[in-house]
Amino acid sequence: MQPDASFTGRVVVITGASLGIGAELARQLVPERPRLVLAARDVGKLDAVAAECRALGAEVVVVPTDVGLEEDCRALAERAVAAFGGIDCLVLNAGIGMWARVDAVRDLTVYERIMRVNYLGSVWCASYALPALRRGRGRLVVVSSLTGKTGVPTRSGYAASKHALHGFFDSLRIELRGTGVSVTMVCPGFVATGIRERNLDASGRPAGHSHVDEQAAMPVEACVAIMLRAMRGRKREVVYTARARFGQWLKLLAPGMVDAMAARVIARGR
- How far apart, in whole angstroms, are the C-alpha atoms of residue 222 and residue 218? 7
Which candidate, 227, 250, 66, 239, places its Cα nearest to that of 162? 239
Which candidate, 29, 26, 9, places its Cα nearest to that of 17? 26
- For 214, the 3-state DSSP assignment is helix
Strands (E), the chain: 11-15, 35-40, 59-64, 89-92, 139-143, 182-187, 191-192, 218-219, 237-239
Burial of 230 per CB tally in 10 Å (0-12, 13-18, 19+): middle
For residue 144, the tally of other CB atoms under 10 A from its CB is 25
Residue among 111, 119, 158, 240 flagged as catalytic: 158
- How far apart, in whole angstroms, are the C-alpha atoms of residue 63 and residue 43? 8
- For 13, the 3-state DSSP assignment is strand
Please tell me what DSSP assigns to residue 183: E
CB 69 within 8 A of CB 41: no
Q: Which residues pair with 40 in a beta bridge?
A: 64
Written as one string, the DSSP assignment of 247-267 is HHHHHHH-HHHHHHHHHHHHH
Per the annotation, the verdict on 119 as an active-site residue is no
Backbone angles phi, psi at 185, to 5 degrees: -95, 130
Residues noted as catalytic: 158
